[in-house]
Amino acid sequence: MTAEQNISSIKKCVILCLAAILATTAGYTQSGDQNKVPELIARLSYANEDTAKVRLLAQILQVHLYYSTEKGLSYRKEAVELAEKLQWKLGIAMVITIFKRLEITNQQNRKECFFILI
């Protein structure tokens, strides 16, 4: 293995570790966080097209995790596209991790509604 391949594999390992950390801490949003949504969306309107905007979009996704998953999912595309445009792998991993949590929560909610109807 060359030095370049070693560095590449180390970068991948770091990204995966950070994604795992984000996955374990993303669920700690509180229901009071939904009050932050208007402020976050207002900040989004004047944010620059950089990593700060990706983080802001990720925060919006995360806040929607337990109270309005459908609304949260609408911010995913913009966040992923911007992170890819910036070639920011950590940002891509962060958004995808939160998105998958939203997707799982949304599926669980549908299953719960189905069982309630039965």
Nearest-angstrom CA–CA distance, 82 and 27: 24
Is the distance from CB of 98 to CB of 61 less than 8 angstroms?
yes
> Residue 91: what pLDDT?
92
Per-residue pLDDT of the chain (118 residues; tens, 9 = 90+): 677 777 777 877 777 766 666 655 544 445 556 677 788 888 888 888 888 999 999 888 888 776 676 777 788 888 999 999 999 999 999 998 888 887 777 676 555 544 444 4
Q: Distance between CA atoms of 44 and 23, rounded to whole angstroms?
A: 23
Domains of the chain: 3-117 (1.25.40)
Write down the pTM of the prediction: 0.62
Could you tell me where the DSSP H helices lie in the chain?
A: 3-25, 37-45, 51-63, 69-73, 76-85, 89-117
Give the model's pLDDT for residue 83.
92
d(CA 26, CA 13): 20
